[in-house]
Structure 1
Amino acid sequence: MWEDPSCVLTKNLWVLNSVLFGCAWDYTLIAAFFFFFFSRSFPRFSVMGVRGLQGFVGSTCPHVCTVVDLKELAEKHRTRYPGCIPTIVVDAMCCLRYWYTPESWICGGQWREYFSALREFVKTFTAVGIKLVFFFDGMVEQGKRDEWVRRRLRNGREIARIFHHLKTHREQPGRNMFFIPSGLAIFTRFALKTLGQETLCSLQEADYEVASYGLQHNCLGILGEDTDYLIYDTCPYLSISELCLETLSTVMLCREKLCESLGLQVMDLPLLACLLGNDVVPEGMFESFRYRCLSSYTSVKENINKKANMILAVSDHISKVLHVHQGEKALEEMLPLGPNKALFYKGVASYLLPGQNSPWFSQKFRGEITLNQQVISVGPEPEVKQEVPMCTEPEVKQEVPMCTEPEFKQEVPMCTEPEFKQEVPMCTEPDSKQEVPMCIDSDSKQDISICTDPESKREVPMCTDPESKQQVPMCTEPEVKQELPIGTGPEFMQEASISTNLEVKQEDPVAMGYEIRQPVTMVSDPEILQIARTHHVQGESYLVYNIVSSGEIECSNTLEDELDQALPSQAFIYRPVRQRVYSLLLGGSEDGTSTGPTVKEWFVYPGNPLKHPDLVRPLQMTVPGGTPSLKLLWLNQEPEAQAQRLETLLACFNLSSSKEELQAIESPFRALCCLLIYLFVQVDTLCLEDLQAFIAQALCLQGKSTAQLINLQLDYINPRAVQLGSLLVRGLTTLALVNSACGFPWKTNEFMPWNVFDGKLFHQKYLHSEKGHSVEVLLEQNRSRLTKFHNLKAVVCKACLKENRRIVGRAHWDSHHTGRWGRQGSSSHRTSSGYIRSGQGQPWRNQGPGSRQHEHDQWRRY
């Protein structure tokens, strides 16, 4: 059984207490102590959300933290709601660093070991009948872009410290410098889907959709590490850092108890969060106001820190000053909002879940804020008859095929009830293809979601909380994989939460006099947009919907050494591939000139201050027979279409001439060779020893167990090998983008890292290859692998020769191959150095980050 380190430490505290004092303390106090200790001891694990709230809860309000047994909670839930599955909604982005338990993280990721850990995590909950629903961030909201940039720049400084440690000590830094492997989020999503889990990708900030899902589906709790879940009025907040898999216990943080300690009501918490500072409202905005509250606060406690006293002082001001005049004065009259009024109200409104209102401003004002945020769900006009993948009433008998990743076989219909002009959420069983609309209970006049088990034909009504009287469409049989209504009309296409379409609007925005401005999307075809949206929400695609809807994508930090200029940044190496994908998705110029639409790229690389996005244009690609349309790639199921999907994928990597050789390679080495050919054509500082290490580790990986990989020991850590490992993993994420855009010509499992890459194993092969060990040594004296090795090597070398790229060993390099080409963007002048090639011999345009509109982004090598 995989056990979280926090579980071990919690048990040790309990044992220590029993030995020293011979009695049992209140276990809640122990949990609170550990919660506080953990947040203070590991700054890399700091949670997001309200500034200082986690430390305050642990030190000043320990009774807010309660140890809970999840098995007991699940049993109580079954008793209270017969027929309903106890469900925990998981904020996956908060859990990544806690899930990644492999000891080695520096070499590019221990993916086989990580996959096993995830399998044990899921298995533990499944064994006690608890369903898990995982949410991943799908995009960065514009209002939180500054916070995203701030964290990426901070991560860049930490990466510089990591490489300094590697060069000084030649060993992996301690866990206090832990940095999650590149691509962990995207590959975790695919891993969970492979394990049969319901995995969703957000259309706005994930924490809002997580909180909405938890409220509407009456979940046991939200598992994560974000103090915003104490602010949302939703289901209980469960700490992932406190989770002990062995006992299935964790710490639950109670917002009602927090309000008791602060003298506030739950509806006051969004106001408090914005006054303290969160991901929307900068902490410095109300700094002077907080100090005024503190100076007039009469109950300052000397035994707690200044931050805790500040939280108490602001809470006291809300309860004793603002509450007194509430209703008589507008909030802006009682607070120094000034020019920050709109931002402040936006921050407060961001915590209001569907159907909730704030007593601190009118519903009319909230409607204006909501419209500005583009998060409302608006049903389609009845006269608009556009062909969009959607399910209709049975008598219409209209079927529109959905392009579905072959491995997952999931389809999510969009349902509109034509008679009432309302969006009807559907409960769909993927295998049986049964779709059952919501019905109305004639006695209670309440909406009742009916889910039908295709095997038993038994209908189960929606769960209703007897205390809150809230309707909770949670009744699903275990076989039912999804309850995902997608009800946004194609002509509106707002960035709407998948879980907000049940919201009942109090006022008509049009009647209120507000103009509903529809967002401009990069692709006008509503059918293509809807398909891309569906795959995005289901977590089956990667970045495609972001490109076709907003034309803006981002990529976080990679383990790259800004002082080592021998290797270019992955952001530049894979940019030509992304440009060809832009051409496929958005269209490009027919003559190859740069007149197509630009895509905003927020990619982190050394030297990029992230003040502005890179503006990147599509790059025309050559597909035999012409570039196919997206409808053909995404909707056509004929064999000829599958062939065109593969042709298009290879064209994105400029590898059409190597199609026959690549098709002859067995899975999973086909995808690996595709990447290796592209990498070695693009980057001249890669040598024969690098190629041999990549191929040898992939072949040896197939015959190794997880235990063997765990026990693998390295003599030392090489910084260049660290970068190469991250570079290949970023290539696999790029392949996920291309595969999604081309209609899934390859099964996703073919290029998952746990099948083709292991960080420690690659590092071992790299060290051996660098020392000049023979191929037989690299292959561990396994003669059966020798033939495969030479075949794979021959395919890569032959394809590179077609591009005039001859792969040689370090000993055969010319004197000018010093491995010291300047990295693009590594200095303030951002000088071009030409270490990447494109095959057309056009140099890189030297443009700075503030005004850069990258043309074809074609490089030549010296």
Structure 2
Amino acid sequence: MEDSFIKPIMGVRGLQGFVGSTCPHICTVVNIQELAERHRTEYPGCTPTIVVDAMCCLRYWYTPESWICGGQWREYFSALRDFVAAFTSAGIKLIFFFDGMVEPGKRDEWVKRRLKNNREISKIFHYIKSKREQPGRNMFFIPSGLAIFTRFALKTLGQETFCSLQEADYEVASYGLQHNCLGILGEDTDYLIYDTCPYFSIGDLCLETLETIMLCREKLCESLGLHVADLPLLACLLGNDITPEGMFESFRYKCLSSYASVKENAGKKGNIILAVSDYISRVLHLYQGEKKIEDMLPLGPNKALFYKGVAAYLLPGQKSPWLVQKPKGIVTDKQVENPESKQEIPMCLDPESKQEVPVHTNPESMQEVPMCTDPESNQEASMCTDPESKQEVPMCTDPESKQEVSVYTHPEVKQKLPSETGAEFNSEELMCTHPEVKQEDVMDMEPEIKQVTMVSDSGILKVARMQHVHSESYLVYNIMSTGEIECSNTLEDELDQALPSQAFIYRPVRQRVYSLLLGDWKGGTPSLEVLWLSQEPAAQARRLDTLLACFNLSSSREDLQAVESPLRALCCLLIYIFVQVDTLSLEDLHAFIAQALCLQGKSTSQLMNLQV
């Protein structure tokens, strides 16, 4: 299991260091509880609410020293419970947002980070093999699956959790603005750029006192001689997740060469920020309204990407003074409704292709290749193939590692799974309704673009979307809507040839799941309407049959039913892994079982003191 969207401190290039070294007055120590009391006074009847960028907080929540092994579930759950309790006791409501996808425009940057992470992981395993000990916290890497488990832990603790339909920072900023929230808790300098509620640092949070650092965008603007509405322009000129750092490199150095107030303590990046800000306030402001922005900046062939970058910071109802005219050839950001606010949230489209996402289908090549055959049921698991290579097509695979970056699936892939014939259900009666995707035009740039999805059943797609937004499923909606998923780094030794990558170990399971999600649900394949929504007594048996078929364990149904429910999933997983990986030993099996059985009766404090 992998965390696709775990992010380090990101945002505008060089801004984090600049704020800390050159403009420390931007950072103010605040007591969140006192701010909450003031908020209650100013807005009677309104519960002070903080929007949490959960992906930025994983490192704060996960503190065990033996991080390389992972698995400290009870200790981690206890840390989350303490975190929630600290805010709850202060009368503060928390709303958690998780990244739910990688926007096409940011995928290049995402891939670069994944490859960089591969190199960091290689260093970890080199250290372990050479030193025969666990690396210190300076080499810390998030254990696999932590983000996924965190969602369910928070839901168990009664917290509202949302999974974004684009990168979460936009939805976090939008939610904070629209709901008059107390602030945003995270670690991303983009929250200084968005014109939204105050930004609090998770890295500086003291949970016992609820004191942290508040980073003030108004004070940042005072220091730079800018208006808040200029910050998106500055972010794009400096480089961020949409506009690559090299795009305006020559322009930045030209600003620096003519900047008269270079500061020794600011460093090179800091002085560049000051110089570019000076150019905006001194030159661009002077001619603003008289000249087009493309006449004042060296946009060249990057004009479309530049406008897209600026527009990406505009929250619902906001406009930019730098985007007055309609830029030609630009596709506006798609509008997606926030499940709580019913407000529209722009979502970036690819300005070149004018498509929301790349969809890879070939009507001429609907071929099936039998992958695994169940000897008992004679059921074949088919996979989508490339007509030339007959291989499952990965989007970006790092040839140096075992990391499969993105897998494309085909809408016509059909897999037969053992099932019973179920009754028909009225999807309108069974489904919870959810706002539909809207294609509206925030800045009147382009006409409406219709979304292309991999599943034609709009009803079941609504259910998948609702489950995605409310963190009740993982990656399912992405597969059904775009036919692609992003698989991130896991802690694996790419040089260990004896152990295959988890991406390849679980490939047969993924392909069978794709068949369930993208198939036409005829013949023996049960429909998602039955598997997800049916309350009939036979539906639960149907779900178990389907689960076992996905793991190619239909013949073990009777044996597995004899095992109590919490351990049944473990048995499925262990049987599957040991069939797939022939280099695992009996001692490995004993170790897995011991972790499941022997630690149940121990308290959190006992588990924390266990030696590796």
Per the TM alignment, residue 46 of structure 1 is displaced from its structure 2 partner at its CA by: 5.2
Q: Which residue number corresponds to residue 84 of structure 2?
A: 122
1:256 is aligned to 2:252 = no
Larger Rg: 1
Task: Quote the Cα distance in structure 1 between the aligned partners of 2:337 and 2:553.
Answer: 43
Residues 368-387 of structure 1 mapped to structure 2, 5 A cutoff: 369=330, 371-375=331-335
Contact 1:330 1:361 survives alignment (8 Å): no
2:578 partner letter: F
Out of 287, 294, 314, which is 1:352 matched to? 314
Please list every run of 5 or more consecutive structure 1 residues that lacks an aligned counterpart in the other structure. Answer: 1-43, 380-397, 404-410, 415-486, 497-502, 591-624, 715-862
Deviation digits for residues 642-693 of structure 1 (CA, Å, limit 9, x no counterpart)? 2111111111111111112112211321110010011111111112111111
Deviation at 1:108, TM superposition (A): 2.6
Q: Which residue of 1 aligns with 2:12?
A: 50
Is contact 2:21-2:265 (8 Å) kept? no
CA distance in structure 2 between the aligned counterparts of 1:282 and 1:375, rounded to whole angstroms: 24
Which residue, 104, 124, 129 being the options, matches 1:167? 129
Distance 1:668 1:363, change over 3 A: farther
Q: Indicate which of 514, 520, 539 corresponds to 2:452.
A: 520
User: Which amino acid in 1 is paired with 2:111?
Assistant: V
Matched, 1:675 2:573: yes
Provide the rounded CA distance (Å) in 1 between the counterparts of 2:326 and 2:317.
14
TM-score normalised by length of structure 1? 0.59
Aligned to 1:665: 563
Distance in 1 (CA, whole Å) between partners of 2:487 and 2:216 is 35
* Within-5 A mapping of 1:58-457: 58-362=20-324, 364-365=326-327, 369=330, 371-375=331-335, 400-402=428-430, 413-414=433-434
Equivalent residue for 2:355?
none
Change (3 A) 1:84 1:52: same
- CA contact 1:238–1:250 (8 Å) conserved in 2: yes
Look up the equivalent residue of 2:582 and give its one-letter code.
Answer: D
The equivalent of 1:533 in structure 2 is 465
Distance change >3 Å, CA 360–CA 705, structure 1 → 2 = same
Pair 1:643-2:541 in alignment: yes
Distance 1:318 1:147 in 2: 26
1:843 — aligned with what?
none
> How much has 1:374 moved relative to structure 2?
2.7
Give the C-alpha shift of residue 266 in structure 1: 0.1
- More moved, 640-649 vs 199-208: 640-649
Alpha-carbon distance in structure 2 between the residues aligned to 1:676 and 1:588: 31
Q: Superposition pairs for residues 778-857 of structure 1, below 5 Å? A: none
Counterpart code for 1:70: I
Instruction: Report the CA distance between 1:190 and its aligned residue.
Output: 0.7
Name which of 488, 491, 497 aligns with 1:559: 491
- 1:191-231 deviation line (CA, Å, top 9, x unaligned): 10010000000001110000000000011100000000000
Matching residue of 2:479:
547
Q: Shift of residue 45 of structure 1?
A: 9.0
Letter of the 2:335 partner, please give it.
Answer: V
1:688-727 matches, cutoff 5 A: 688-714=586-612
Matching residue's letter, 2:218: E
Query: How far apart are residue 346 of structure 1 and its match?
Result: 0.4
Distance 1:363 1:96, change over 3 A: farther
Gaps of 5+ in 2: 1-5, 343-425
Cα displacement (A) at 1:363: 6.1
In the alignment, is the contact (CA less than 8 A) between 1:233 and 1:266 conserved in 2? yes
What one-letter code is carried by the residue in structure 1 that aligns with 2:478? N
The answer as to whether partners of 1:139 and 1:205 remain within 8 angstroms in 2 is yes
CA distance in 2, matches of 1:180, 1:401: 42
Following superposition, the deviation at residue 588 of structure 1 comes to: 7.2
Change (3 A) 1:377 1:559: closer
User: What's the counterpart of residue 791 of structure 1?
Assistant: none
CA distance in 2, matches of 1:373, 1:654: 43
Paired AA for residue 300 in structure 2: G
Distance 1:549 1:349 in 2: 24
1:375 positional shift: 3.2
Which secondary structure state, in structure 2, belongs to the residue aligned with residue 668 of structure 1?
helix
* Preserved CA contact (<8 Å) 1:239 1:251: yes
Contact 2:428 2:459 in 1 (8 A): no
Give the share of equivalent positions with the same residue, in percent.
77
> Does structure 2 retain, via aligned residues, the 8 Å contact 1:49–1:279?
yes
Q: 2:454 touches 2:482 (CA, 8 Å); kept in 1? A: yes
Supply the AA of the counterpart residue of 1:211.
A
* Letter matched to residue 697 of structure 1: Q
Give the match for residue 387 of structure 2: none
Q: Distance in 1 between matches of 2:49 and 2:430?
A: 28
Q: Point out which structure has higher relative CO (alpha carbons under 8 A, 6+ apart).
A: 2
**Residue 251 of structure 2 contacts residue 298 of structure 2 at CA under 8 Å; is this kept in 1?**
yes
- Shift, 1:628, TM fit: 1.1
How far 1:705 moved relative to its partner?
1.3
Task: Return the offset for 1:401.
Answer: 4.1
- What is the CA–CA distance in structure 1 between the aligned matches of 2:243 and 2:308, rounded to whole Å? 9
Which residue does the alignment assign to 1:573?
505
Quote how far apart the aligned CAs of 1:364 are. 4.0
3-state DSSP of counterpart to 2:65? coil
Counterpart of 1:626, as a letter, is G
Is the contact made by 1:402 and 1:531 (CA closer than 8 Å) also made in structure 2?
no
Give the Cα–Cα distance (whole angstroms) in 1 for the partners of residues 48 and 220 of structure 2: 25
Cα separation, 1, equivalents of 2:336 and 2:579: 47
Paired residue type of 2:598? C
- Contact 1:536–1:542 (Cα < 8 Å) also in 2: yes
TM-score (norm 2): 0.82
Distance in 1, matches of 2:333 and 2:599, equals: 48
Measured at CA, do residues 589 and 690 of structure 1 come closer, stay the same or move farther in structure 2, by a change above 3 Å? same
Please give the residue correspondences for 1:455-494 in structure 2 after superposition, counting only pairs within 5 Å: 487-488=435-436, 493=437
- Whether the 8 Å CA contact 1:357–1:363 is kept in 2: the answer is no
Alpha carbons 1:224, 1:238 under 8 Å: kept: yes
Residues 134, 200 of structure 1: 8 Å contact kept = yes
Equivalent position SS for 2:264 = coil
Q: C-alpha separation between the residues in 2 aligned to 1:402 and 1:134? A: 27
Q: Deviations over 1:605-654 (max 9, x none)?
A: xxxxxxxxxxxxxxxxxxxx821112222222111122111111111111
Change (3 A) 1:522 1:68: same
- What is the DSSP-based 3-state SS (H/G/I as helix, E as strand, rest coil) of the residue aligned with 1:318? helix
The structural deviation recorded for 1:103 is 1.5
2: CA distance, partners of 1:224 / 1:360: 28
In the aligned structure 1, how far is the partner of 2:79 from the partner of 2:264?
A: 45
Contact 2:193/2:313 (<8 A) preserved: yes
Report SS of the residue matched to 1:284: coil
Count of residue correspondences: 521
Aligned amino acid, residue 258 of structure 1: L
- 1:629 counterpart letter in structure 2: S
SS at match of 2:162: strand
Structure 2 letter corresponding to 1:627:
T
